[in-house]
């Protein structure tokens, strides 16, 4: 695996945990909101912490989609589960939330499960070939299609 791919997986982990943390902090400042009062939703989104959290979560989704473009979900999801540990540490020490021993046990079980999954065979090597050219399709005897205004002509 290349350095770029490790950075993408690290990005998924860090952007997800940081985005969730910022969103949590901002929503605690904004207070309760209701979808029946859209003004409160708009004010919550304009909170700087919430806005930064949304941007970081957008970066998380972009990194996640990138990772899924070259690896299986069964590889990407466990590889980014370090985010659970990171998120619990941020919640405990930065947001001053109570993380119960039962939650720490759950995080340890998830991390242990990831160790089992990571020890299994990697099924993420796919040959991504470009679609065959028109000449290759004609050589193979496959029907070709030409796009004509108003429809497809065979």
Domains of the chain by residue range: 3-118
Question: Residue 104: pLDDT above 90?
Answer: yes
Q: Which two tokens stand for residue 116?
A: 């089992």
Q: Please write the tens of the pLDDT for every residue from 59-94.
A: 999 999 999 998 888 888 887 888 888 999 999 999
* pLDDT recorded at residue 43: 86
Torsions phi, psi for 133 (to 5 deg)? -75, 170
Residue labelled with tokens 């990138």 = 66
Q: Please write the tens of the pLDDT for every residue from 8-38.
A: 999 999 999 999 999 999 999 988 888 888 8
Rounded CA-CA distance 23/51 in Å is 8
Instruction: Answer with the residue of higher pLDDT: 63 or 116.
Output: 63
End-to-end CA, the chain: 43
* pLDDT recorded at residue 138: 72
Distances 9 to 62, 88, 106, 111, 117 between C-alpha atoms, Å: 11, 19, 22, 16, 16
* pLDDT recorded at residue 114: 79
Q: What is the pTM of this model?
A: 0.70
At residue 55's C-alpha, the angle toward residues 52 and 59, to 5°, is: 135
Q: Are 114 and 81 in contact (CB under 8 A)?
A: yes
Q: Concatenated DSSP letters for 1-40? A: --HHHHHHHHHHHHHHHHHHHHHHHHHHHH----TT-HHH
Instruction: Answer with the residue of higher pLDDT: 49 or 133.
Output: 49
């Amino acid at each position: 695996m290349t350095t770029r791919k490790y950075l993408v997986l690290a990005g998924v982990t860090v952007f997800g945990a940081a985005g969730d943390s910022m969103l949590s902090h901002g929503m605690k400042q904004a207070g309760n909101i209701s979808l029946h009062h859209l003004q409160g939703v708009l004010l919550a989104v304009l909170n700087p912490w919430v806005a930064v959290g949304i941007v970081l979560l957008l970066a998380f989704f972009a990194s996640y989609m990138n990772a899924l473009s070259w690896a299986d979900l069964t590889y990407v999801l466990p590889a980014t589960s370090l985010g659970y540990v990171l998120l619990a540490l941020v919640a405990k020490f930065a947001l001053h939330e109570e993380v119960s021993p039962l939650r720490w046990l759950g995080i340890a079980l998830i991390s242990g499960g990831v160790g089992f999954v990571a020890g299994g065979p990697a099924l993420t090597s796919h040959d991504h070939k470009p679609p065959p050219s028109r000449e290759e399709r004609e050589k193979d005897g496959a029907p070709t299609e030409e796009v004509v205004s108003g429809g497809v002509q065979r």
